[in-house]
Structures are given as C-alpha cells and as structure tokens.
Amino acid sequence: MADTTSGTELADRVLDRLDTLYEPARDETRAAAMTRYMRGEFPFLGIPAPRQRLLARQAIGTLPRPSEPDLVAVAVACWDRAEREYQYFACGYLRRYVRVCSASFAPTVQQLITTKSWWDTVDPLAAHVVGGLVARHPRLVSLMDRWALSDNRWLVRSALLHQLHYRESTDPKRLFRYCTEQSTHPDFFVRKAIGWALREYAKTDPGAVRRYVSAHRGRMSPLSVREALKHLAG
C-alpha cells in the first residue's frame, strides 16, 4: 500500500484506542454469525453496527483532526488487521475527513478498494470517499474513466457508484456511458451497480433514466433493468 512513514503517530493512537475499545466488546457467537452472513470472506469481532459507531466516536473523540498522511496511515493499519470491524472503522474515518484529502489520495483508496474487496467496504469507499475526492478534484474524472473499463470488477463498480449522491451535480453523459460500456458485464456486482446508479439518478431525472433504459434494455441484464426501474413505472 501507500507509504506510511509519516502520520503514523496518530495512526498508532487511533489503533491503540480501537483495540482497547473493541476487545471487551468481542462476541464470538455474533462474530460467527457475521462471518457466515459475509459468506466466510472475513473474520469479525462480532460487534453490531450501532455499537461500532459508538466505539468509533469514542476512539477519535479527543484526537486532533488528521492530516492526509494520517488518513493514509490509519487506513493502511486498519486494512492490515484481520477483523472486518477495523476496515469498517477506516471507511467511516475516511468518509468523515475526505475533505482533508488531495487528489494524491487516489492511489490509497484504489488500493483499499482492490484489497480485501467485498461490497461492504467497496460501496462506502466508492460513494463517499471516491465520490468526495472526484467532486473536489475534477481532474480525477479521468481516473474514473479508466476504472470504468478496468478488468477489476470492484473498480468498475466504484466508477459506476462514485456519483451515487451527486444528485443535480451528476454528469449524466458519463454515468450513462459507463453503464453502456459495462452493460453486458457478466458479474453480479457490476450488473447490480448499473441498476443502482441508474435508480439513484432517477430520483433527480426520472425521464432520462426511462429513456436510457428503453434505448438500451436489449443489452442490459434483467437485474440492471429491474433495479433501474424499481421506483419508476416500467
């Protein structure tokens, strides 16, 4: 991953606090159930989401605002831990402080997306961290164009979802182009992302989504079409 030679003092403090807070909250029975729910992809501590959020607030409550090197170091440290709750913390931490990040943070978030990859971390990184980076640093749009054509399904999904909360600021031509480029993609997570991105944009411009689906449904998977039109009259 990215260089973490700077910012590690704060990362050490964050991780020390997380360890101190997480360990007493460990629940082996719940952890086993959470691992099963995630198809055995990752081990868990067994801390439910509301408790995770509370502990995360306690962990960072009196700490200083991080710099970009601090964010890199915290993210890498969390990704190096086995249990999934640490990666969830990192996603929330990055979302909270995404405005601190320059365009140079993009390689770090790309590494996070393509390491220990599953929808539960990829989606918040795509919609909130990547989306925030691109909104603040428009030159990263060209990176999204490359991700949209990647052989890595999680980068494709991230490109499709990075505008998920842009609403009126969405670039519809780019969104529709990405959907068209990947309309025949065989992977479930890409097909689902196409439908989800279109469904979300339909809240802003339902007519545009209806017209797009009408023109392209012959190439789109039934899943993508169904998701795109979920809240629209087909």
Locate the domains of the chain by residue range: 1-100, 105-234
Mean pLDDT of 104-120: 98
pLDDT at residue 37 greater than cutoff 90? yes
The answer to whether domain 1-100 and domain 105-234 are alike in fold is yes
The owner of tokens 């065989």 is 186
Categorize the per-residue pLDDT at 47 as very low, low, confident or very high, splitting at 50, 70 and 90: very high
pLDDT at residue 120 greater than cutoff 60? yes
Categorize the per-residue pLDDT at 8 as very low, low, confident or very high, splitting at 50, 70 and 90: confident
Q: What local confidence, expressed as pLDDT, does residue 7 receive?
A: 47
Mean pLDDT of 5-27: 88
- Would the pTM of this model clear 0.75, i.e. be above it? yes
Q: What local confidence, expressed as pLDDT, does residue 1 receive?
A: 45
Mean pLDDT of 163-168: 98
Q: What local confidence, expressed as pLDDT, does residue 231 receive?
A: 87
3-state secondary structure the chain: CCCCCCCHHHHHHHHHHHHHHHHHHCCHHHHHHHHHHCCCCCCCCCCCHHHHHHHHHHHHCCCCCCCHHHHHHHHHHHHHCCCHHHHHHHHHHHHHCHHHCCHHHHHHHHHHHCCCCCHHHHHHHHHHHHHHHHHHCHHHHHHHHHHCCCCCHHHHHHHHHCCCCCHHHCCHHHHHHHHHHCCCCCCHHHHHHHHHHHHHHHCCCHHHHHHHHHHHCCCCCHHHHHHHCCCCCC
Q: State the distance between the two ends of the chain, measured CA to CA, in whole angstroms.
A: 45
CATH code matching the domain that covers 1-100, chosen among 1.25.10.90, 3.40.1800.10, 1.10.3720.10, 3.40.50.720: 1.25.10.90
**What topology is assigned to 105-234 in CATH?**
Leucine-rich Repeat Variant (1.25.10)
Q: What local confidence, expressed as pLDDT, does residue 91 receive?
A: 98
Q: What local confidence, expressed as pLDDT, does residue 233 receive?
A: 66
Tens of pLDDT along 184-233?
Answer: 999 999 999 999 999 999 999 999 999 999 999 999 999 999 999 998 86
Q: Which residues contact 3 (CB under 8 A, 6 or more apart)?
A: 72
